[in-house]
Amino acid sequence: MLDALFVYGTLMVGRCRWPILEPYVVGGSGGMGPAAAAGRLYDTGFEYPAARFDRDGRIWGQVARLHPESLAVALDLLDQVEGAVEGEYTRVVIRTDDGDSAWAYEYGLSPDGLVDLGGRWTGN
pTM for the model stands at: 0.95
| CATH of span 4-116 | 3.10.490.10
66-76 per-position pLDDT tens digit: 999 999 999 99
56-110 per-position pLDDT tens digit: 999 999 999 999 999 999 999 999 999 887 888 999 999 999 999 999 999 999 9
Q: CB pairs under 8 A, 24+ apart, for 92-96?
A: 92/53, 93/2, 94/6, 94/37, 94/38, 94/39, 94/53, 95/37, 95/38, 96/6, 96/35, 96/36, 96/37, 96/63
8 A C-beta contact, residue 10 and residue 17: yes
What's the one-letter identity of residue 65?
Answer: R
Spans of all domains in the chain: 4-116
